[in-house]
Amino acid sequence: MGGICTGRNDRTVAHWPLFSAFLIASVALAIAPDPAAFYIVARSFSRGRGPGLASVAGIAVGSLGNAPAAVATLTNWGRKAAKNTNASSLAKRSA
């Protein structure tokens, strides 16, 4: 079987080895510092609390803009893939 199996009462239950690997990877990514964290710490140490908080705000605003752009791009790719895999286009390509 794959990563998900059917449990009692038709609920889907993840396999423990797969779920534990996912959990470990999620925790590792959550606690690992990224370049933005290094930038904020360096800016706070060198210039003080105000510029450090301004850096936090700038990175947060940038992330809030980046997330919807990524969703829009992935959604557009999904729509293009769905258009390219319908039955009529497959029939035209094989003819």
> Who's near 7: CB < 8 A, 6+ residues apart?
13
Q: Who has greater pLDDT, 48 or 19?
A: 48
- Locus of tokens 């925790």: 27
Digit-coded pLDDT (tens) for 24-39: 998 998 888 889 999 9
Band of residue 17 on the pLDDT scale cut at 50, 70, 90:
confident
Q: Using an 8 Å Cβ cutoff, are 92 and 83 in contact?
A: no
Q: Using an 8 Å Cβ cutoff, are 65 and 56 in contact?
A: no
Q: Is the pLDDT of residue 77 over 80?
A: no
Domain boundaries, the chain: 1-32, 33-95
- Residue 88, amino acid: S
DSSP 9: G
Query: Torsions phi, psi of 14, nearest 5?
Result: -75, 145
